[in-house]
Amino acid sequence: MKNKRNICKALAVTEAAKGTSDKDKKIMNERAHFRTIEYIKGVFLSASITLEASIVLPLFIFFFVNIMTAFNIIKVQSDLEAALHQTGSDIAAIAYDLNAGKNLLNIDGETGASDVIASGGYTLYAAHRVRQYLGDSVNKSCVTDKAAGLSFLSSRIMSGNDYVDIVVDYKVHPLIPVIGFKEFKVQSRYFGHAWTGYDISGGTPSAKVGDEMVFVTEHGTVYHRDAGCSHLKIDVKSIPYNSLSSARNKDGSIYYPCEYCGSNVGGGNVFVTDYGNRYHSSVSCQGLKRKIYTIPISEVGGRSPCSTCG
């Protein structure tokens, strides 16, 4: 209305200018012309601002909504990892109880169809517990098909071993679908070991229940009943190479060159141990690194008992 009034004033001025001089008429006409141009500019400027707002505002809303979707995806992933960790810990404890029950009842735990059935039962239990931990929040998230969209088919739980491997596959989608970006796959996983202990026999068939466990070394010819036996401890000493001819170990044996590092020794100091029968040119030689194994006494073979702890 204001701009219309300005035009009316400009026209009125033009009409009023008829009774004035030519110079005054020219001045009044120029003023009216400038007012008309300003009005037209104001109209176009308002229209351009409206057009920009109509383009930018929807784009802003679109990107804002999708950023919120990204935060929702991260939240779902975090909640699911927490639920998997809690469920995996529950299954590990349940496996311990079942294993203790089998040992108490002297039930044979051989693998077979029973393990497959048990694994399926554990998987169903895991699916139920995870959905229970998530509650109704998963149904309000960006997960496709909500709680029903969580698939546990890739899980392998206690299937012939004591591993708890819970795998959840699902899809998420943006709140506003984009061409070529409707949904994508996501996977969450828990991997752990059931609380059933460690079989020190290595699962060998010859290991009998109640069989005494002894300690042997990789190249040793005796077995030890005490893990702290002095023969199992390596006490490395440095002696002159020239004294090897008279040097003896605790068993009275002479020292021979090490097959790894003793072939090219011609002087200086060498390294020996109290119960070994080799001398070494390097303290880091693999022959000085002793590997100790725990085996059933029924598997010692031709090894004789240690003179100290056997």
pLDDT tens per residue across span 245-274: 888 888 788 888 888 887 788 788 888 888
The pLDDT of residue 129 is 92
Q: Which percentage of the chain shows pLDDT scores above 70?
A: 69
Locus of tokens 């739980």: 157
- Please name every residue paired with 188 in a beta bridge, in sequence order, or none if there are none: 168
CA distance 238 to 245: 15
Higher pLDDT, residue 44 or 240: 240
**0.75 surpassed by pTM:** no
Query: Residue 183: helix, strand or coil by DSSP?
Result: coil
Higher pLDDT, residue 308 or 110: 308
**Beta-carbon count within 10 A of 137 CB:** 13
Compute the mean pLDDT over every residue in the chain, rounded to the nearest whole number. Answer: 75
- The token pair at 35 is 């007012």
- pLDDT of 188 over the 80 cut: yes
**Beta-carbon count within 10 A of 8 CB:** 10
* pLDDT per position as a tens digit, 223-250: 888 877 877 777 788 888 888 888 888 8
- The token pair at 54 is 């109509």
The pLDDT of residue 183 is 81
CA distance 26 to 51: 38
Average pLDDT over residues 66-76: 81
